[in-house]
Structures are given as structure tokens and as C-alpha cells.
A and B are shown apart, each in its own frame.
Chain A
Amino acid sequence: MRDTESFDECYRATSHRLLGYAYALTGNWAQAQDLVQETYMRAWRQWGRLSEYDDVESWLRLVVSRLATDVWRRLQRWRAAMRLLGTGGDAAPADESAVLLQQALRGLPRVQRQALAMHYLFDMPVAQIALDAGVPVGTVKSWLSRGRAGLAAALQAKDGDRDE
């Protein structure tokens, strides 16, 4: 038997954080909304089991990550087609600074982007990111270090462009 109350509470507590994470991975609010909705629909299907997990958000994050990498192109096409037809996305326009970050993130490899998002959006320590990603701690440190350097350079360049 699935408990609607615990699901709704989990959704309220985690959905916007997951949305930020999905945005960091895809760079598009409409896609991020799609991914998050799909993730929670899948979660509800298995809620009887999931609700017993100690850390449901970790499962949700994993599904968002997989959807972002595996289904990204198809969802992108779907949304693009919807937008062309004027029937899609009710996502609010993003603020300029978020767009700058999104553009900067896009220049980074997926693993670095994911590690940065986990670290800055979920306050996850390096060891936990390593556990989630299934890689050694040193690898995550390297991703974060390179990711920060790449992001800093990209943000500086964007700032420079904006100042000119």
C-alpha cells in the first residue's frame, strides 16, 4: 500500500532542489521540469518500496541524472517540437545570472557538472558524491577542482563579455 502523505511530503521537501539539480545538468528549465516530473511519477510507481529508503532523495537524484543523460536528446526534441508549435513549456524565463551559469556549465564535461551540482546544490561532501557516482574520492576531488577552474574561467569570460 502506498502512502500518499509521505510521498507528497517528500515531493514538497525535495522537488525544487531536484529541479535546480536537473537544471544544472540540462541547462534548460523546461527540460528540468520534464525530468523532475518524470522522476516523481516513477517514484510514485515504486513508492511502497522507496518510502522505506533512508535516503529517497539519493534515488531521486540518480534517476534525474540517468534521465538527463539517457533521455536528454529525446526530451529536447519533444520540447523543441512543442515550442515550435507554440504548445509547450510553461517554464518561466530564467534570470540572467542563472543563464550565465548555465552557459558556463555547458562548457564543462558532464561528470564535472554533476559533481559541482551535487556539491553546491545538495551540500554533499566529497565522500558522498564519490559513493553516489561509484568512483574513488580522489576522482571526485579532481572533478570538482577542474570543474571549479573551468567554471571560474567561463564565468569570468561571460562577465567580461557583459561588461564590454
Chain B
Amino acid sequence: MMSEIENAFARVVVEAERQGLPLAAQLRDRSDRRARRRAAVGTLAVAAVLAASATVLLPLLGREAPDQVAFPSGTAVQTSAPQPSTSAPSSAPPPTAGCPGGKFTKTIPAKVLVSGTNRDVPDIPLEYHCGKPATGDAKKALPKVCPDQSDAGDTSILGRRGILAYLKPVQEGYTPNTYFHTVTEYTAPEAAAAYLAGLRAAVAACGEYRVGSLRYDYAVTDGPALGDESLTLAMSVKVDPPAEGTPELATFRISVVRVGAYVSVVTDHGWEGDPTPDAELDPVPTQAAARLSTL
């Protein structure tokens, strides 16, 4: 049998020689183009941040409130202030959560999810099961601020639906960036608001934690005010010890928006450990909030 195994691997060697691969020059060229693209996107992002900072700070410089000016914009911890809910609580008793037949009580309509802009690749549905912890991509789609955090047993969840969506590559032949979009319906606006409050509290209470060779750290960061209430998180992922071919530190944006009893979570998933440039991902949370408002 030994020789049979050896023969089988020998045939793989022969087959590998037969398989086509691009020329080295082509790969060098693609690698250089990718590096140039990343550098260009980085420069644009810095320019956008500087422009945005100038827009915000310059008017403040004219005011007589030096404490506002002195507050470093780069370190400002800011969330959009909760706004009055557009969905007035109903006088009817709130629905109760549960898992009849192992399923969620409510089905979230597909139209509330923001599909990817990449027409070549369809969205991939995430598998959420009522009362059970999410696994795989479904788990990655929601922020896990503390190492032991889980809302699997959250009795205030009526329904949840999510996708992994592919963005159109900035140029033909480039790899597409990706994001997760998940929408959850809670039993009441207050229960949905409690989810966001829980996230804020968790960020304040929990620090960095490790899973295998990855170290996760969450922070509340600046983001647009959307829906009835919104929250933007920055999830830093450090590879420790560093691994060749993988970014040592990458920060992914997570946008959480509440409209009434619904919560939308858009989590950047980038591509191969690199985050999506802001300009590519920016429209998604806004569209997500607009979709929730139609419910």
C-alpha cells in the first residue's frame, strides 16, 4: 500500500505540472497594482478625514468655547444622541419572543438587507437559529465586545436575518471587499435600545481579549447619526504573534442603527484580513437605516 500512496502523490506532482499558472511577470504586475491601489485608497482616506476634521473644527475655532476646540477630534468618543423614536409604541401588548417549532417568531423581510454591489456574486445568507448560539460567519457578523458575550438566549429577539455581501471591486480583476448585514427585530423599541446600551456598557467594561492568535479590542468611534439611535464601533484585530502575509493590525468598522424595535448591524469584513476602505463601505449603513424606516 505504501507504493500506492507514493504513486498517488506522484500523480499529483504530474497533474500539478500539467495545470496552468500565470507568468511570474503577470503576478508581479497584479501585486504591484494591488499595492498601488491600497496606497491610493489610504491617501484618499487620510484626505477625507482631514477635510472632514477641517469642516467640523474650523467653525468651532470662531466660537468662544475653547474647551470644545481643545477636545482632540482624533480621540473623541462620540455617539449620536438618541433621537425620539419614529415608531411610537403601540398600545397593544408587546409580542413575546420564543422559538415555536425551533423558529423565530417573526420573519425579517429580505428587502431590509442591503445587497452587495457586486453583480457577479450573490449575497450569502447567514444562518441564525432561534435560541441557539450563532456559528461561523453568522457569529462574526455581530459584535462580540466581551469574550463571554452571547445573546443566544435573548428572550427579546423576535426574528433575525443576515447576509454576507460582496462589494464591486474598485477595478476589474481585483478582489471584492465584503460586509455582513444583520437585522434583528426585538419585542419592543425599548428592548432594541437595550441592545445598543448593552454594547456601549460592554465597550466600557471589557478590554482587549484573545482568541487563539487574534487579539480583539472594541472602541466606540465617530459615526453618522442614523435612525432613532446609532452607534459606531471600531473593532481592532491584532495578529499575535504576527503571521506572514496577514496584516498585523487591522480595524474594522461596525455600524449599529436602531429604528423602532429593529436593529441593523453592518460589520465590515474586508478581504483576507484587510478592512474595506471607508469610501466603499460608507453608503451601506445609511441605506440600511433607510430600509429599516420602511418597515
Contact = CB atoms under 8 A, between A and B. Distances in A.
Interface of A: 4, 7-8, 11-12, 15-17, 19-20, 23-24, 29, 32-33, 36-42, 44-46, 59, 62-63, 66-67, 70-71, 74, 77-78, 81-82, 85, 87, 90-92, 94-95, 97-98, 100-101, 104, 116-117, 120-121, 148, 151-152, 155-156
Contact of B24 (A7, A74, A101): A7
B1 A98 contact: no
A91 B19 contact: yes
B9 A120 contact: yes
B246 A87 contact: no
A-B interface, 3 closest residue pairs, ranked by CB to CB distance from nearest: A20-B16, A120-B9, A11-B24
A74 B180 CA distance: 13
A149 to B, nearest CB: 9
Contact of B27 (A16, A44, A98): A44
B2 A40 contact: no
Contacts of A23: 12, 15-16
A88 B252 CA distance: 29
Contacts, number: 129
A17 B16 CA distance: 7
Q: Chain A's interface: helix, strand, loop or mixed, by majority?
A: helix
5 contacts: A20-B9, A66-B244, A90-B20, A92-B19, A101-B11
Interface in B101-154: 120-122, 124
Interface stretch (B29-37, B51-59, B61-69, B278-286): B29-37
Contacts of B9: 20, 24, 101, 116-117, 120-121
Nearest to B176: A78
A17 B13 CA distance: 7
Interface of B: 1-2, 4-9, 11-13, 15-22, 24-25, 27-28, 30-32, 34-35, 120-122, 124, 176, 178, 243-246, 272-273
B272 A97 contact: no
B1 A11 contact: no
Contacts of B245: 39, 42, 63, 66-67
Contact of A98 (B2, B11, B31, B122): B11
A55 to B, nearest CB: 13
A120 B5 contact: yes
A121 B13 CA distance: 7
A81 B122 contact: yes
Contacts of B22: 37
B167 to A, nearest CB: 13
Contact of A85 (B12, B15, B24, B120): B120
B31 A42 contact: yes
